[in-house]
Amino acid sequence: MEIRTEMAGSLWKLFVNEGTSITKGQDIAILESMKMEIPVTAKTSGTVKKIKHIEGEFLNEGDIIAIIE
C-alpha cells in the first residue's frame, strides 16, 4: 500500500524508517503547509518497505511518502 500526501507541503518530520512496523491510524509523518502542521497517517497496518522522500523536501498533492507491505 502506498501512503500519499493529501495536500502539497514540505515534509517537516518523518516518524518511521524502512523496516518499522506500523499500525493503522499511526502518524508516519508531518507535512507543513502555510504554517500549518498536517499529520499523515497510515491507512493500514504493516511494515514500512520504502521511504520515498527525506525531511525538508517539498511534496505535491498525491506524492508517495512511503510504501507499506
What does the pLDDT look like over 29-65, one tens digit per residue?
A: 999 998 899 999 999 999 999 999 999 999 999 999 9
Strand order in the sheet with 36-41: 36-41, 27-33, 9-14, 58-59
Q: Work out the pLDDT band at 16, boundaries 50, 70, 90.
A: very high
**Domain spans, the chain:** 2-68
Which CATH topology does 2-68 take?
A: OB fold (Dihydrolipoamide Acetyltransferase, E2P) (2.40.50)
Grid cell 507499506 in the structure block, residue: 68
- Local structure of residue 34 (DSSP, 8 states): T
Stated pTM of the model: 0.85
pLDDT at 21: 96
| Residue 7 DSSP symbol | S
